[in-house]
A and B are shown apart, each in its own frame.
Chain A
Amino acid sequence: MSARADEVARYLKRRARWSPLEIAFWIFAFATIWLFPGKYLILKDTAILALFALSLDLILGYAGIISLGQAAFFGLAGYFSGLVAKYGFIDEPVIALVCSGVVAAGLGFVTSFLVLRGSDLTRLMVTLGVSLMLGELANRYSNITGGADGLQGVEIAPVLGLFRFDLFGHNGYVYCLIVLFICFVIARRIIYSPFGLSLRSIKGNNLRAAAIGIPVKWRLVAIYTVAAGFAGIAGALLTQTTAFCSLDVFSFERSADLLLVLIIGGTGYLYGGLIGAVIYKFLQDWIANLTPQYWQFWIGLVLVVIVLIGRERMAGWIGAVRAFFNRLGARFAPRLPALGGAGSEGH
């Protein structure tokens, strides 16, 4: 191997290295377990929303597929995990969680062929339609799902037979956070693989992607399926940690919230969904405390302001913070050249 090939290999591998800012992010995320013991419920909801938003970011930010129907996978897996626990088919929550993800991914695979045909507008309509139909099916078969009353009598066994979900939500939050982290690591790995690179090329220019031999359709089917699985895991987490599942898992608002989260957090650098979820949840919580009736007004105002300021400008602020952390990181590890890491691929 020539020196230049060595350099190329090093450069390519360095793209995927964890940057100091990322490491700090996750240290802080896990530190919240001890830092905010009174906030477990909202933290847990945030972690679930973050995972759910990550699933949309995978298809929107990396493959350019816009969707208003991620709730279909969220809801299906939510009911699935509730039902298997209620009837004791799968007792262990982690196994049930994985199975729920697989079921949601299966639905994602089947519906991907409908979704990938059209343009953006068609995709919005088809994805929305699929989730509405599933919601209506859940309503119709109330003998299975409990209908408008929700799925009652779900009992979730202790995780791994050891950790029971407690009233304060401590174990529930830790469970969600660990699952979020694992899913994030998987997503990150996918994004930095050749497959992930080919997705970005398809998003950038699908005409050329086909002209260099990439089977565009199958790559999109694959990522849509994976994203559906992630959305399903998020839905199953919600059911497992609340021991309840209601029709609103399929609601339009749930899918629409996701787009808001990604508008706040930005797409295409994996952290957008996470950061967006944190901002969205805590903003919602804070405003709802100030003015319980009109909180949606303020959320709307914040969104308008965000769009007006423009994410480029905000990305500039984040870039400054990142540069600071990189300098910090470079000081502690002077031999590792500070490359932007994941964020530098964003726009």
Chain B
Amino acid sequence: MPILQTFQLEKRFGGILAAQNVNLAVEPGARHALIGPNGAGKTTVINLLTGVLRPSGGRILLEGRDITGLLPHQRVRLGMARTFQINQLFLDLTPLESIGLVVSERLGSGADWWRLVGTKAAVTDEIVEIAERFHLADIMHERTAILPYGKQRLLEIALAFACRPRLLLLDEPAAGVPEAERHELLATIEALPKDVTVLLIEHDMDLVFSFADRISVLVNGAMFVDGAPDEVARDPRVKAVYLGEELSA
């Protein structure tokens, strides 16, 4: 059974169809990439999957369970977390506080109002583990606002990872990261545990073809081609609409 499946997913903004007939199936453990030219509706699909937008039609199943009507935070609790194309961080908090926030929320103590932060060993242990995995341990006491962009990008993923998702949606994780910091970021993504399924939305073809074991191509809001990387690369229609130049180059 696919971990994530959509049926005839559709989103209208007034007269504009931003997504239509999106039938997506992501297998457990996959490194699945969702690609498409600018304006193809990739971000719309992510927002539909995570509940930021309500679909105009269609259904979304997470591990066989219908989540179409659930709120974003409820989907997180069912095991789906995401990152954002443009950093959505808590600029006034430190990475330590931000990660701690996510961990304590997941362990069900986020609503504790009389216990002081930092008094649960399970939480602090996990903060350290995540900070180390994402190379944030050295700067975890700094305010997020003053971190270098590459570190902010790592924190962006760390916050989603701290939700312990079974399905992780990465929305252009490498976008805008300077060359010097890029390697650390890509290595970290590469090293994500295999039991976490990853759906990657990406512009960067190098990253897509080095990382993904399955690729779906979205064009004009509709699912265009879906297959293994080499099939997609060979597909003449894909070359025509999108990949042609970049692949032959």
A208/B73 in contact, CB under 8 A? no
Residues of A within 8 A of B117 (CB): 12-13, 15-16, 192-194, 196-197
B112 touches A8 (CB 8 A): no
Q: Are A16 and B97 in contact, with the CB atoms below 8 A?
A: no
Contact A12 B93 (CB under 8 A): no
Contact with A211, one of B88, B116, B119, B140 (Cβ below 8 angstroms): B88
Considering the complex, which residues of chain A in the window 3-52 have a beta carbon less than 8 Å from any beta carbon of chain B?
4-6, 8-13, 15-16
Find out whether the CB atom of B110 lies under 8 angstroms from the CB atom of A214.
yes
- Once bound together, how far apart are the Cα atoms of A347 and B137, in whole Å? 24
Q: CB-CB < 8 A to A194: which residues of B?
A: 100-101, 104-105, 109-113, 115, 117
Please measure, in the bound complex, the distance between the C-alpha atom of A219 and the C-alpha atom of B104, giving whole angstroms. 14
Interface centre among A11, A207, A208 (most CB of B within 10 A): A208
Contact with A along B124-136 (1 / 0, CB 8 A): 1101100010000
User: Separation in Å of the A144 CB from the closest CB of chain B?
Assistant: 35
**Quick check: A201 and B98 within 8 Å, CB to CB?**
yes
Q: In the complex, what distance in Å separates the CA atom of A201 from the CA atom of B105?
A: 12
The chain A residue with its CB closest to the CB of B106 is A213
A8–B111 CB distance below 8 A: no
Q: Is A212 an interface residue (CB 8 A)?
A: yes
| A193 touching B97 in the complex, CB below 8 Å, given contacts A210-B73, A212-B81 | no
Name A197's contact: one of B91, B101, B125, B132 (CB within 8 Å).
B101
The answer to whether B118 touches A8 (Cβ under 8 A) is yes
Q: How large is the interface on A (under 10, 10 to 19, 20 to 34, 35 or more residues)?
A: 35 or more
A11 touches B106 (CB 8 A): no
The smallest C-beta distance from A206 to any residue of chain B, in angstroms, reads 10
Residue of B nearest to A210 (CB): B72
Q: Which of A165-217 contact B (CB under 8 A)?
A: 189-190, 192-198, 200-201, 204-205, 207-208, 210-216
Q: How many A-B residue pairs have CB under 8 A?
A: 153
Interface residues of B in 183-239 (CB under 8 A from A): none
B104 touches A213 (CB 8 A): no
Once A4-B128, A13-B116 are accepted as A-B contacts, the answer to whether A200 and B106 lie under 8 Å apart by CB is no
Residue in A2, A192, A215, A345 whose CB lies within 8 Å of B73 = A215
A1 touches B (CB below 8 Å): yes
What residues of chain A lie closer than 8 Å to B71, measured between beta carbons? 210, 215
Q: Is B139 an interface residue (CB 8 A)?
A: no
Q: Contacts of A345 on B, CB cut-off 8 Å?
A: 92
- When C-beta atoms are compared, the residue in chain A nearest to B156 turns out to be A208
- Complex Cα–Cα for A68 and B154 (A): 40
Tell me, yes or no, whether B52 is within 8 Å of chain A by CB: yes
Q: Provide the bound-state CA to CA distance between A125 and B73, in Å.
A: 29
Report yes or no: A8 in contact with B81, Cβ–Cβ below 8 A. Answer: no
B121 engages A193 (CB within 8 Å): no
CA distance A253 to B93 in the complex (A): 35
B52 and A12 form a contact (CB under 8 A)? no
A216 CB contacts on chain B under 8 angstroms = 73
* A208-B84 contact in complex given A200-B90, A200-B92, C-beta closer than 8 Å: yes
- Is B151 an interface position by the 8 A CB rule? no
Expressed in whole angstroms, the minimum distance between the Cβ of B231 and any Cβ of chain A is: 33
Known pairs A193-B116, A194-B111; A212 contacts B76 (CB<8 A): yes
Please tell me if the beta carbons of B101 and A193 are within 8 angstroms of each other in the complex.
no
Given A4-B137, A5-B121, A201-B93, CB of A212 within 8 Å of CB of B116: no
**CA of A204 to CA of B89, assembled, Å:** 8
Q: Given the complex, which residues of B lie within 8 Å of A204, measured CB to CB?
A: 90-93
CB distance from A109 to the nearest CB of B (A): 15
Do the beta carbons of B116 and A347 come within 8 Å of each other? no
Once the chains are docked, how many angstroms separate the CA of A222 from the CA of B160? 25
**Set A6, A12, A212: member contacting B162, Cβ < 8 A:** A212
Q: Which of A9, A12, A15, A211 is B72 in contact with, Cβ under 8 Å?
A: A211
Q: A10-B118, A193-B114 are in contact. List 15 more A-B contacts (CB 8 A).
A: A2-B125, A6-B124, A9-B118, A9-B124, A12-B119, A189-B116, A192-B116, A194-B111, A194-B115, A197-B117, A201-B90, A210-B72, A213-B76, A214-B101, A222-B111
Which 5 A/B pairs are nearest by Cβ-Cβ distance?
A: A12-B118, A213-B76, A208-B88, A195-B113, A210-B72
